[in-house]
Structure formats: C-alpha cells, structure tokens
C-alpha cells in the first residue's frame, strides 16, 4: 500500500469512518501484490514473460486462501441469536469453525460438538408405504423429520438417558447407592464415555446445508461463533489483504505455479522454485507464530502450581 500521513491513519483525513486505516500498515493488498509481481518478476530478462495479468491474480488468490486455511489463522468472530427454528445460517465467508460459545452473565462458555447426527431428511409415504412425488417427479418431504422434531421441540436427549425406565430422565451419576445408569449398551455398562461427559448444550454443523443445528434448550440464547475465512472478502478484490510477513511467500507461490504450468521450463528450475516456496512458507509461519518470551514465561509460571 502507499504511505499515508498520520492524519489519514488516525482520523482518515477527518472523513467518516475515522477508523478505516487503523492497522492497515501491517497488510498489503491484492492489487499491490499483483502490481509488484508484474513489475519485478516478469519481463524480457526474467523466467516469466508475457504472462496474462488474470493468471497472476488467480495464483495470488490461491496463495492467500492457502495461507488463511493453514498459517494465518486470523479468526473472525460473529455474535448470533438462536431463534426458531433452532438453527443459524453460517456466514457467507465461512470455511471452518474454531469454537462456538454461549454468552451468558458476561462470560463465554464453550459448547460441545455433537458427534451424532441430529438432523435428517425424510419423505412422505402413502398407506402402502410408497414415497409420494410431486407433479415434477420430486419426492415430497414434511416440514420436520422425526429426528428434527425431537431436536427442535423435545429438547436434547443424553446418550445415557433411560427412556421409560426406573431412572427415566437421569443420566450419568444418579440413583441409589451412587451407581451409574445408562439407557443403552455402548460396548458395556461400565464407565462413562468421556466424549459426552459435558453438561453444556450441544451443536452440530451441517456444512452441506450451511447451518448450525441446536437443540430446543438453546432457543433465545446468544452464541459467539469463531471461524476461519478464506480471506477472499466475498469477492471484493479491493478488500483482499494479507499480512506483510507473507508477502515474499506469495511472490514465490505465484512464480512456482506459473513456471510449473509453462512449456519448455527445465525441471531443475521448477524444483528450485518449489524449494524457495517451501523455505519462505516455513519462515513466514515462524514469523507469524507470535512466540513472545513474555507469553512463554506466563505459561511456565504455572509449572510450580500446587494441585490439590
């Protein structure tokens, strides 16, 4: 990016929004990356010559996406309200989730992912148990499947609930003489499946449908979704930026991908480009890891803590 004055940085030249340029110096835009590459890495005396700009933009975007998936880890946070139906549509730039927490009494309580399926599609049947179709030949479906109905209206059922039994509604440590009671045998009737030993509400992300499914006990609650984006800013190229610590890697990535796809390039040149890309990738990850001595000391202070 071009250099700006302190007045432009702090107050955006006295125009609204005033905070537009805050923190911008640590990033370089996609526009500048492409311009710099076309200026410094292409030409009659370079390995890359007469390369179309759109190809450079394509490889630059792929490099930024790879960084966001694996290295940058710039987490976005979105506050959401769980309403009827008991689901929430994922953000448009969502790629993968980091943590989902319920916000209550000024604190964040992490929620546990439900490893079991809690949503399913079903079809309507006639009295002869044959699937019903519409006039275009597509299967007819009700508003809720049995699984969805129980999730949305009957609350969450634990793995060890004893339905209809003597200890109906009890899960885990309950009943007489401090014994354990379970609703079904998962390999045996002893011990607790630690995967489900969490009393917090559960959720399940349906990536194909693009929603987060909750149980009815989450209705009306406020949640914070922390997730990873691909860095493409919903296709707005003027907003796509990357940390300057990765700028050299992106140039190496573009250079390597273009050389790998060109005809007549010797194999040792491609191997050298791949080696350079790998070295810059590892170097950039070390830079971005934020291994500050002060943070390490804060962690090590807990080594001598007495555990009662």
pLDDT of the residue at 73: 67
pLDDT of the residue at 199: 63
Residue 118's pLDDT band (boundaries 50, 70, 90)? low
Least confident of 29-43, 113-127, 135-149, 156-170: 156-170
Residue 180 has pLDDT above 80, yes or no: no
Contacts of 75 (CB under 8 A, 6+ apart): 98, 226, 227, 228
On whether the pTM is more than 0.85, the answer is no
pLDDT of the residue at 60: 94
At residue 121, φ and ψ (nearest 5 deg) are -95, 140
Among residues 34, 51, 29, which one has the least CA distance to residue 265? 51
Residue 82 has pLDDT above 50, yes or no: yes
Among residues 288, 274, 278, 277, which one has the least CA distance to residue 245? 288
> What average pLDDT does the structure give for the chain?
78
Q: Which ranges in the chain belong to alpha helices (H)?
A: 6-11, 30-40, 53-70, 146-153, 247-261, 267-288, 293-300
What average pLDDT score do residues 273-298 get?
83
pLDDT greater at residue 135 or residue 34: 34
What average pLDDT score do residues 129-143 get?
83
Least confident of 66-75, 193-202, 205-214, 221-230: 193-202
DSSP tag of 260: H
pLDDT of the residue at 217: 72
Residue 155's pLDDT band (boundaries 50, 70, 90)? low
Among residues 228, 225, 227, 206, which one has the least CA distance to residue 102? 225
pLDDT greater at residue 278 or residue 209: 278
Residue 235's pLDDT band (boundaries 50, 70, 90)? confident
Residues 88-105 pLDDT 10s: 788 888 888 888 888 888
Distance from the first to the final alpha carbon of the chain? 55
Least confident of 81-90, 129-138, 192-201, 240-249: 192-201
Per the CB < 8 A criterion, the answer to whether 1 and 29 are in contact is yes
Least confident of 9-13, 197-201, 208-212, 257-261: 197-201
Least confident of 28-42, 55-69, 181-195: 181-195
Query: What is the radius of gyration, based on Cα positions, of the chain?
Result: 27
């Amino acid at each position: 990016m071009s250099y700006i004055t302190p007045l432009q940085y702090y107050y955006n030249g006295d125009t609204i929004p005033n905070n537009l340029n805050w923190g911008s110096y640590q990033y370089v835009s996609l526009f500048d990356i492409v311009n710099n590459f076309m200026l410094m890495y292409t030409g009659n005396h370079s390995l890359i010559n007469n390369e179309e700009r759109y190809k450079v933009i394509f490889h630059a975007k792929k490099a930024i996406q790879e960084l966001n998936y694996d290295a940058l880890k710039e987490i976005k946070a979105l506050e959401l309200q769980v309403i009827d139906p008991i689901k929430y549509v994922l953000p448009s730039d969502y790629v993968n989730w980091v943590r989902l927490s319920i916000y209550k009494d000024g604190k964040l309580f992490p929620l546990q992912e439900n490893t079991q399926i809690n949503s399913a599609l079903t079809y309507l049947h006639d009295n002869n148990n044959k699937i019903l179709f519409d006039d275009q030949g597509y299967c007819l479906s009700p508003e809720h499947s049995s699984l969805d109905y129980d999730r949305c209206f009957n609350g969450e059922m634990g793995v060890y609930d004893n339905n209809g039994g003597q200890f109906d509604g009890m899960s885990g440590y309950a009943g007489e003489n401090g014994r354990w009671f379970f609703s079904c045998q998962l390999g045996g009737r002893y011990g607790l499946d630690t995967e489900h030993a969490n009393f917090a509400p559960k959720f399940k992300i349906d990536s194909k449908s693009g929603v987060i499914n909750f149980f009815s006990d989450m209705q009306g609650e406020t949640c914070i979704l922390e997730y990873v984006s691909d860095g493409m800013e919903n296709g707005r190229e003027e907003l796509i930026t990357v940390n300057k610590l990765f700028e050299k890697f992106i140039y190496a990535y573009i250079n390597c991908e273009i050389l790998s796809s060109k005809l007549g390039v010797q194999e040792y040149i491609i191997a050298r480009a791949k080696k350079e890309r790998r070295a810059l990738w590892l170097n950039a990850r070390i830079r971005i890891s934020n291994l500050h001595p002060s943070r390490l000391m804060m962690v090590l202070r807990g080594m001598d803590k007495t555990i009662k």
